[in-house]
Chain A
Amino acid sequence: MTIESKISIRHVHKAFSVKRGSKPFKAESQPVYALQDINLEVRQGEFMVIVGPSGCGKSTLLDLLAGLTKPGGGQILLDGQAISGPNLDRGIVFQQYALFPWKTALANVEFGLEAKGVGRRERRETAQRFIELVGLGGFEHRYPHELSGGMKQRIAIARSLAYDPEVLLMDEPFAALDAQTRETLQSELLRIWEATGKTIIFITHGIEEAVYLGQRVAIMTSRPGRIKRVIDIPFESRRSEEDLRSNPDFVKLRHEIWELLKDEVSRAQEQEKSKTLDAYGEGKSSAKGGARHG
């Protein structure tokens, strides 16, 4: 198991120090334990979905995988090598697209290729090919503000795929989209995944989305985040199934995950509440977590 793992997350911890107290002199550094002893093995070419209540540390985990931050303890291996920093072997897709507004769709997709040192000519051709892969041929010269949310997310996906990372990290990529667009993009993502064979780690709040997309679904506890259970989703080729969502097995799995998640969600809500109260008591709002959307 260990040997064939694409990504191994072993005993990973992460804590943030949050300054509290109303007066600067009284400020004491208080750690917020975001992740506690995370263990997860992701196989080559696997579609792994992570679900968990708001504020449980999902984005924190993804930042660690991207190499944007370092774990406080434990290690993360990619092909058996410890991750030392950001690299083009991993691509991230964010919920808020993170497209460069001063670049056209095409130039946005070219951005990672440029960072990779690909020549101008080849860059253009590759970018064009990936824009077509995500079904946006004809829109390459539009600026992000001229595209709909769904189109922007397609471009963001094309940008991450274009530089050919081995692993695609996706942080609630479809959460800001309307239901129809989301369903379309979900099945397109599956198509792209099947076509490219990438390893995907996909974070979501949506249980249905998790069951529909994932080969396995990891459920996290409320903060400090741990992996509570990993559930196998045994459907073959999801796209061929006519209406997978009403399949009784699908419904059963969805319910099982919901059962696992619901205590964690209420605990997370308790945490948020007490944190807000704390912040009131100390006359200063705490770190960002309290105000984050769900």
Chain B
Amino acid sequence: MVKVNRQGEVWIFAEQQDGKLSDVPLELLSKGRSLADQLSVKLSAVLGGFNVKPLSDELIAHGADKVYLVEDPLLQDYQTTSYAKMLCQLIEKHQPQIVLYGATVLGRDLAPRVASALKAGLTADCTDLQIGDYTELKTKNTHKNLMLQIRPAFGGNIIATIVNYDWWPQMATVREGVMPLPERNGNLKGEIVTESIALSPQDFPLEILQRHRREKKVNLKGARIIVAGGAGVGSRENFRRIWDLANCLGAAVGGSRAAVDLGFIGHDHQVGQTGTTVRPALYIAVGISGAVQHAAGMAEAAKIVAINNNPDAPIFQIAHYGIVGDLNDVVPRLIKAIRSKQ
């Protein structure tokens, strides 16, 4: 357990694979920036690996004041034990007040191991983080400027706010796609602090025999417009309508879990709690009821158009435009209307 350190920095773990940063650490930087500014402390990134130094500049250009860089051939491939050791040693040395990880498979493998070793708190899959005060119920002690860790629980049916006021650092994994990507700004300045970690063979218990990276064919996160279909579309053949509408808008195609489970569309297209979280400029939901688990992945879209023949479908509660009608009539009309405008 690390002591409460009000001067401590805000840290993000810069997940990289094969020398590339994904969007996740950059999203963490955008949230971390606002937390650090509110606390008037520095925002730092922890970057481990081998030949990853060029990534430091990327992290700085996306808002990091400082990068703790650990370069070691032994850290080339991620292993839970070695990476956990790296983080524990750096956290004990520098005593940050907040450490954020992406809620990716890697982040969810690593962060709990670190939390357990440090005896620190950890909140999983946060969808929002804020700075705020917390008063203990029993003692009425107030703790100022804590990180409020906000996450859905109970299958998305409740939103819980979690705090950790004494077993620091305050740590959380943050769901992918919910924080906006910061703009790259090459003029930003930052410091690179080189660190080294003493590693021993028992920090590498695993043998990685083979690794396969599947290229994601679908880029939902990057799409400006998404047309998504649900169980209401009725069949894989009828899903053609969704593709047609998407084509005439230059949009990506999404689906609800029901549509995926029914085989209308592949899993890479799933939007929602167990799929991708998206925040496009426009989301057109066709034959989707709007279950909380679906809404969790798309409610942040700037504009939502819902097409559903049931006027009581929950999707209308988060929609900006609602069309009550049979999608088999509405979608062709919508395609015509769009074509005739362009």
Q: Answer whether A and B are interacting partners.
A: no
Q: Which residues of B contact A (CB under 8 A)?
A: none
